[in-house]
Amino acid sequence: MNTHYRVVVIGGGVVGASVLYHLAKFGWTDVCLLERSVLTAGSSWHAAGGIHALNADPNMAALQAYTIDLLSEIEQESGQNIGLHMTGGLTLAGTPDRWEWLQANYRVFQSIGIDDCELLTPEEAQRRCPIMSTEGILGAMWADREGYIDTTGTVHAYAVAAKKRGASYFEHTKVESLEQVADGWKVVTDKGTITCEHVVNAAGLWAKQVGRMAGIELPVSPLKHHYLVTESIPEIAALDFEVPMTVDLEGFTYMRQDQKGLLLGIYEVEHEHWAMDGAPWDYGMELFQEQTDRIEHELTCGFHRYPVLENTGVKTWVNGAFTFSPDGNPLVGPVRGKRGYWTACAVMAGFLQGGGVGKTLAEWMIHGEPEADAWPMDVARYGDYAQNKRYIKETTGQFYSRRFVMTYPNEQLPAGRPLKTAPAYTAMSEAGCKWGCSWDLEVPLYFAPQGFEEVPTLKRSNAFDIVGEECRHVREKVGMVDITGFSRFEVSGPNAEKWLDRVMASKLPGPGRAKLAPMLEPGGRLKGDLTVMNWGDGTWWIMGSYYLREWHMRWFQDHLDEGVTIRDLGEEICGFALTGPRSRTVIEKVCEGAGDLPFMGCAALDVGLFRARVARMSVAGELGYEISVRMGDHIKLRELLLQAGADEEIREYGFNAMLSLRLEKSFGIWSAEFTQGYTPGETGMDRWIDWDKDFIGKEAALKERAAGAKRRVVTLEVDATDADASGYEPVWRDGRRVGFVTSGGYGHTLGKSYALAMMDADAAAEGTELTVHVVGAERPARVIAPSPYDPAGNAMRGKPV
């Protein structure tokens, strides 16, 4: 063991071994892995080893597809048998909603290039898995690339392949402490001290402790997980093929063949946490006693689905611990303020996702950004609020118990909520506000009559008409929406303008003006769709998506210059926006000078008794004003605006209406039309770029500009009936897949269903006839001109539409 390495990976499970392998594969060979016990100790050795393509998150499905493709490659490269059994896989649906969901997800898979799936009838599914009962099954999805591997062999394959490429790994080497130093990290072990530029926390069950060694509190917790392995089953021994990996969503079970018997795994509804502060250091190859009383319901479902279990003995019970994050996705990437410290933990499906995690982190470390959009597993998707132990327990438990439970797009889950609320939350609730959650904050969705409850659905919900009325009111009169859920960063200092000019790709606004500002990473892809405000006093605001606060602050701080101070105002500033043709009349009653603001103008003004920051802009494409004040002013500001707008028939509205209104204007949003996987040319953000100045990402953006984007975002009008596109649905032209939906919904004021879609350039012309799968059903669609509502933009400028 040397005293210095470029990278030290802590943890010898499948994730740590994959990170080591990918670092070496991409050219960094001065790297080592430290394992306090032996490779696989912790969770990897007892994992069930199933691999399957299905994931409700398309980005995670793509990650899993990469891992599956990699497995045979590392087996060949290492010479280590990984016990790969590609049996194919079934996912079963037993309710009408679940069957619709499965059909919709089959189409989503087509959008992301997973083409080895097909939908089956119950009879077809049983022919592929003859030991299965089809009672209660409405349909199934088959995937060719599913099966299982030998977990111990796979970890050793990653490690041996890494070693062949020049990397090193050391067992029985415990990390005892970490110290951040000027040029990296000092890793103190029981075998000596190592210095390194980068350290990777791939410690699995011990990720909590390894985080605390660096002063980091990671939102992770282990939970117990059961599976059983049976003795040989005559019906299986008689088959001339292996039964497929099978997931019974209604039964909370998964099944695969194990020799001539079965392995039945359970995601128990009655979950149980263990060692929330991290596993004991001497834990490694142990298991817990099975708890059959806790899993009685799921066991009954499993024995009903596979009747051969009734006459079979259990050879082995496994009740072991795996580590989970609040949403079940991994925690990967650099940690803000801890330069050179990386996380690769909470990978609860390590053998399924570990390859993609290793690739992502290695690319990120070496090249500065990963190839694919890493947001679904970026550690920066959580902030300080997620360090709370009760929050972690509630959310990880909720995810575990709902692992196979269907979550509807309009469903609001309760764990860890409400956490943070705007000051006027209580008053707005009394007025009928129904709430969603963005990061840690409760945000308004819509206002409904007392006693109203929205029914979860894949289609248009019983809140459809309520949202429609809010949309029409905003277009015709004036609406007011709480905008506490917008992020705000204050930039100041003698070099603030110079720094902003380098970080933002747009021309900066002059004093008293605001401007839309794309932000790029060096490779030319998007890093933000932001609004920059120049208050004219040497201070600037950057406004964006609230849930990206930690993510954007990490980027800002990583690229900060001397003489620049940036401050996150998310805990200090809140506000309301007035939207609609009568909004100027309302604000002029309470704010002298607001009516004189030009379009995209901004100023510090008195609104009633409050000193406020006012900007004339609107996400809805109407005349509008955004009013930002201190948190302590929120309640009274709401009362003031409602009173001032009473004669103008003001009413409150929520984000659901806002999203409908922005679709009618073809306004994109982050995480849909704009992501770090897309470029300015693809998304139309290039029209805001100032090509005459230097900015981060300019060289790559110029190359795209010269070559032309091969795809671009367009607006579709969809002939929908009782459901609307929402995202990742495939778009077809004469039977050829030519794009996918980025977001969609119903345009209530125009009475049509719309979608924004990322389309191949040769299918993006206006008037092109297409079809789109909406909740599994193919619907006619066509490309239309952008901004079907008020294409000239007159309403935003206070002119007649």
- The pLDDT value given to residue 140: 97
Using alpha carbons, select from 84, 393, 403, 425 the residue that is nearest to residue 256.
Answer: 84
- What distance in Å separates the CA atoms of residue 653 and residue 636, rounded to the nearest whole number? 18
Q: What is the pLDDT of residue 406?
A: 87
> What Å distances lie between residue 669 and 538, 545, 673, 675, CA to CA?
29, 9, 6, 9
Name the percent of the chain lying above pLDDT 70: 100
pLDDT of residue 112: 82
Query: Over the stretch 252-295, which tens digit does the pLDDT of each residue have?
Result: 999 999 999 999 999 999 999 999 999 999 998 999 999 999 99
Helical residues (DSSP H) of 368-406, grouped into ranges: 389-401
Task: Please tell me the predicted confidence (pLDDT) of residue 63.
Answer: 84
What span, in angstroms and rounded, lies between the C-alpha atoms of 794 and 112? 38
Please report, rounded to a whole number, the percentage of residues in the chain having pLDDT higher than 90. 95
Question: What was the pLDDT predicted at 7?
Answer: 98
Read off the pLDDT band of 56 (50, 70, 90). low
Mean pLDDT over 50-65 rounds to 80
Read off the tokens for 74. Answer: 């590392």
509 secondary structure, DSSP code:
P
Residue 707 has pLDDT above 70, yes or no: yes
Closest listed residue to residue 545, CA positions, set 632, 674, 635: 674
The DSSP element (H or E) to which 161 belongs, if any, is: helix 151-164
Write the DSSP assignment of 739-794 as a string of letters: EEEEEEEEETTTTEEEEEEEEEGGG-STT-EEEEEETTEEEEEEEE-S-SS-TT-T
At 373, the amino acid letter reads: D
Domain-by-domain residue ranges, the chain?
A: 4-367, 710-788
pLDDT of 54 > 80? The answer is: no
CATH topology of domain 710-788: Elongation Factor Tu (Ef-tu); domain 3 (2.40.30)
Q: Residue 60: what pLDDT? A: 82
Residue 53 clears pLDDT 80, i.e. is over it: no
Bridge partners, residue 442, by sequence: 437
Q: Which of 649, 663, 635 is nearest to 751 (CA)?
A: 663
β-pair partners for 265: 227, 254
**Cα(306)–Cα(190) distance, integer angstroms:** 49
| SS3 per-residue string spanning 285-346 | CCCCCCCCCCCHHHHHHHHHHCHHHHHCCEEEEEEEEEEECCCCCCEEEECCCCCCEEEEEC
Angle between helices 634-644 and 583-590 (to 10 degrees): 120
pLDDT, tens digit, for every residue of 510-532?
A: 999 999 999 999 999 999 999 99
- 243: DSSP letter: P
Strand pairing of 486-492 and 117-120? Answer: unpaired
- 498 pLDDT tier (thresholds 50, 70, 90): very high
Read off the pLDDT band of 149 (50, 70, 90). Answer: very high
Give the mean model confidence (pLDDT) for residues 330-352: 96
One of 3.20.20.100, 3.50.50.60, 3.40.50.300, 3.20.20.450 is the CATH number of 4-367, namely: 3.50.50.60
Return the structure tokens found at 159.
């490690």
pTM above 0.75, yes or no: yes
Name the residue among 110, 217, 42, 152 with its Cα closest to residue 737.
110
Q: What is the pLDDT of residue 800?
A: 86
Task: Determine how many CB atoms are found less than 10 A away from the CB of residue 471.
Answer: 24
Q: Is the pLDDT of residue 615 over 90?
A: yes
**DSSP element (H, E) containing 199:** strand 192-201
Comparing C-alpha atoms, which of 278, 223, 208, 209 is closest to residue 398? Answer: 223
